[in-house]
Amino acid sequence: MPGRTWELCLLLLLGLVLGSQEALPPPCESPIYCHGELLHQVQMAKLYQDDKQFVDMPMSSAPEQVLQRFKELANAHNHSIPQQQLQGFLEEHFQAMGQELQPWTPEDWKDSPRFLQKISDLKLRAWAGQLHQLWKKLGKKVKPEVLRHPERFSLIYSQHPFIVPGGRFLEFYYWDSYWVMEGLLLSEMPETVKGMLQNFLDLVQTYGHVPNGARVYYLQRSQPPLLTLMMDRYVTHTNDIAFLRDNIGTLALELDFWTENRNISVSLGEKSYVLNRYYVPYGGPRPESYSKDAELADTLPEGDREALWAELKAGAESGWDFSSRWLVGGPNPNLLSSIRTSKFVPVDLNAFLCQAEELMSKFYTSLGNDSQATKYRNLWEQRLAALKAVLWDEEKGAWFDYDLENGKKNQEFYPSNLAPLWAGCFSDPGVVDKALKYLEDSKILTYQYGIPTSLWKTGQQWDFPNAWAPLQDLVIRGLAKSPSPRTQEVAFQLAQNWIRTNFDVYSQKSAMYEKYDISNGGQPGGGGEYEVQEGFGWTNGVVLMLLDRYGDRLSSGTQTAFLEPHCLAAALLLSLLLSFLPQ
């Protein structure tokens, strides 16, 4: 008998040891901000215009107490609490949103960063100076209360201050931060970038992945994986190899998250390829868009609702929330309830991971770890082969999302179709000029105010007529990799178009926006789940990048029809003739 007891004891200890190795906190547990009757009643009562408002409000007392009071209130009204009582309850137990954050002026902010001098057009230079000032408005720091009482806040504590997108987005976001960091490095603020990087690395250490944003209700999903690229940009700028060495293991952990939880195998004939997809295996409405998700689910049979919510979350994980891109080929591609994000192998996601694998190989080489360098080089080569076999279309000259359910590529236009160019994820240099032809064939170069997100007008924000800064960057820097002067000239013209749109709107409204409507001469964008937001982190970052790269040529003047092929040809001919004229 004592022997048996010892065996049991050993098993128990072993269980504890094994269990503790996977001791990641479960994602989104809060009975106030993530699920439960309180969340349901408050969000369905629509007390605020935007569901995000309630889940961003800190509690005034401990959650147990708030829940207890709510239970009493709900019982007193037989679980249908009149609006006024509910409002009173919130006023008593919650604080206004944003209370847990304080403004922060980055310590490394300084006047007149050098890149401003590269901008010849004086109006554009003055504008860039104002965008540089905006970092001070978008800087935020978490108050120490959040560290003392994390259970009272949906905000996740971050040790280091950060730059936020702006508008309704008071916390930092994953993929937005990459373009923000590019801008910050031009503004010569590497210390701010380092702090933001450290925050992301801390999140990976705690949760095993980078959540969509720094709120508990974002923990069930990630966003396009650009952490390795952020590190590369920081290390290239500062040569801070010690920081890389200290954190390379955490970068590897983040990529493991995608390998282990977001992999998908595609069989083509005899061969099968492993790629990645966006996928969130959690049901329930998104807390920050609760009533919209609940009402959308009401249009479906009860048995289909959890799957819908999981697909909506996967759509949010893709960064494209929402878009016809995730509805194509579905039962009713006009309705958001047809969303099936996880049924596609996305071009951009796999391009981002491809780039991350190549960078990891480079990092490990620089740290003298050859075996790890080889491992990532092999992963990169496998992914190159898989991208070519599954996503590349030789006839069209572009990559396309692979539709797993229908066993074919989705040949609609999206700027993400060119993400492998941007990510350097191709072996044949000829693909860049094929991509230019693809853009011409798709008539994308006829849009003078920016590259549209898709060619479908659905009312969703990641569709026509909206144009987004990061997608301009994907195409412009992708094309600029071409050795051909003509392709490079098109990249410049696309940059010129985007700069004018942003500059003209800024001249009228003194604000930078999250997205722009390019059907209307370039105006703040619209559509989707919430009002267009001012700020705006990644928009500013991309403008600064373009002004840095093309500052000697960009102009604040009027729009031209330069991109029409015959017009381009005429312009080239004219400039040739002019060059023969006596000076």
Q: Which residues are catalytic?
A: 321, 514
The residue (of 251 and 297) whose beta carbon lies closer to ligand NAG is: 251
The Cα 183–Cα 135 span in angstroms is: 9
3-state SS assignment for residue 564: coil
The residue (of 274 and 561) whose beta carbon lies closer to ligand NAG is: 274
Position among 372, 453, 487, 539 found at the interface with ligand NAG (CB under 6 A): 372
The Cα 498–Cα 451 span in angstroms is: 8
Position among 120, 259, 267, 374 found at the interface with ligand NAG (CB under 6 A): 259
**Among 41-49, 140-148, 171-179, 367-375, which window interacts with ligand NAG (CB under 6 A)?**
367-375
Buried-exposed string 101-131: b where 16+ CB fall within 10 A, e elsewhere: beebebeebeeebebbeebebeebbebbeeb
3-state SS assignment for residue 421: helix
Is residue 263 at the binding interface for ligand NAG, with CB under 6 A as the rule? yes
Number of residues located near ligand NAG, criterion CB under 6 A: 8
Q: Which residues contact 189 (CB under 8 A, 6 or more apart)?
A: 106, 108, 109, 135
Q: Report the site for ligand NAG in 230-249 (rule: CB under 6 A).
A: 249
Is residue 366 at the binding interface for ligand NAG, with CB under 6 A as the rule? no
The Cα 400–Cα 398 span in angstroms is: 7
* Nearest C-alpha neighbor of 161 from the set 132, 206, 195, 184: 195
The residue (of 112 and 265) whose beta carbon lies closer to ligand NAG is: 265
Shortest spacing between CB 259 and ligand NAG, in angstroms = 5
The residue (of 238 and 261) whose beta carbon lies closer to ligand NAG is: 261
CA geometry: angle 463, 520, 489, nearest 5 deg: 80
**Among 116-124, 148-156, 334-342, 369-377, which window interacts with ligand NAG (CB under 6 A)?**
369-377
Do residues 420 and 351 touch, judged by C-beta distance below 8 A?
yes
The residue (of 247 and 501) whose beta carbon lies closer to ligand NAG is: 247
The residue (of 292 and 375) whose beta carbon lies closer to ligand NAG is: 375
For residues 313 to 352, the per-residue mask of contacts with ligand NAG, x marking binding by CB under 6 A and - elsewhere, is: ----------------------------------------
Q: Which residues contact 408 (CB under 8 A, 6 or more apart)?
A: 402
Shortest spacing between CB 281 and ligand NAG, in angstroms = 9
* Nearest C-alpha neighbor of 329 from the set 404, 422, 431: 404
The one-letter amino acid code at 159 reads Q
**Among 52-60, 256-264, 381-389, 547-555, which window interacts with ligand NAG (CB under 6 A)?**
256-264
The residue (of 371 and 579) whose beta carbon lies closer to ligand NAG is: 371
The Cα 205–Cα 156 span in angstroms is: 14
Is residue 260 at the binding interface for ligand NAG, with CB under 6 A as the rule? yes
* Nearest C-alpha neighbor of 388 from the set 255, 228, 226, 275: 275
Q: Report the site for ligand NAG in 36-95 (rule: CB under 6 A).
A: 78
Residue 25 DSSP class: P
**Among 108-116, 284-292, 365-373, 503-511, which window interacts with ligand NAG (CB under 6 A)?**
365-373
Beta partners for 213? 173
**Among 342-350, 364-372, 445-453, 558-566, which window interacts with ligand NAG (CB under 6 A)?**
364-372
The residue (of 117 and 263) whose beta carbon lies closer to ligand NAG is: 263
Shortest spacing between CB 368 and ligand NAG, in angstroms = 7
Q: Which residues contact 335 (CB under 8 A, 6 or more apart)?
A: 299, 327
Residue with tokens 């997205």: 515
Shortest spacing between CB 375 and ligand NAG, in angstroms = 9
Shortest spacing between CB 264 and ligand NAG, in angstroms = 8
For residues 489 to 528, the per-residue mask of contacts with ligand NAG, x marking binding by CB under 6 A and - elsewhere, is: ----------------------------------------
Virtual torsion, Cα 112, 115, 116, 122, nearest 10 deg:
160
Position among 206, 366, 369, 560 found at the interface with ligand NAG (CB under 6 A): 369
The residue (of 263 and 508) whose beta carbon lies closer to ligand NAG is: 263
The residue (of 246 and 260) whose beta carbon lies closer to ligand NAG is: 260
Shortest spacing between CB 80 and ligand NAG, in angstroms = 7
The residue (of 253 and 455) whose beta carbon lies closer to ligand NAG is: 253
Virtual torsion, Cα 492, 493, 499, 502, nearest 10 deg:
-140
Beta partners for 173? 213
3-state SS assignment for residue 102: strand
**Among 366-374, 378-386, 461-469, 545-553, which window interacts with ligand NAG (CB under 6 A)?**
366-374
Beta partners for 94? 59
**Among 197-205, 258-266, 303-311, 555-563, which window interacts with ligand NAG (CB under 6 A)?**
258-266
Shortest spacing between CB 370 and ligand NAG, in angstroms = 7
Beta partners for 169? 166
**Among 34-42, 255-263, 468-476, 546-554, which window interacts with ligand NAG (CB under 6 A)?**
255-263
Shortest spacing between CB 540 and ligand NAG, in angstroms = 36
Backbone dihedral region for residue 80 (phi beyond 0: left; psi -120 to 50: alpha; all else: beta): beta
Residue with tokens 């071409």: 482
Is residue 374 at the binding interface for ligand NAG, with CB under 6 A as the rule? no
The Cα 200–Cα 203 span in angstroms is: 5
* Nearest C-alpha neighbor of 428 from the set 403, 399, 402: 399
Peptide bond into 465 cis (omega under 30): yes
Shortest spacing between CB 367 and ligand NAG, in angstroms = 7
For residues 96 to 115, the per-residue mask of contacts with ligand NAG, x marking binding by CB under 6 A and - elsewhere, is: --------------------
Q: Which residues contact 334 (CB under 8 A, 6 or more apart)?
A: 327, 458
* Nearest C-alpha neighbor of 224 from the set 181, 244, 194, 254: 254
Judged by the rule CB under 6 A, the positions of this chain that interact with ligand NAG are: 78, 249, 259-260, 263, 369, 371-372
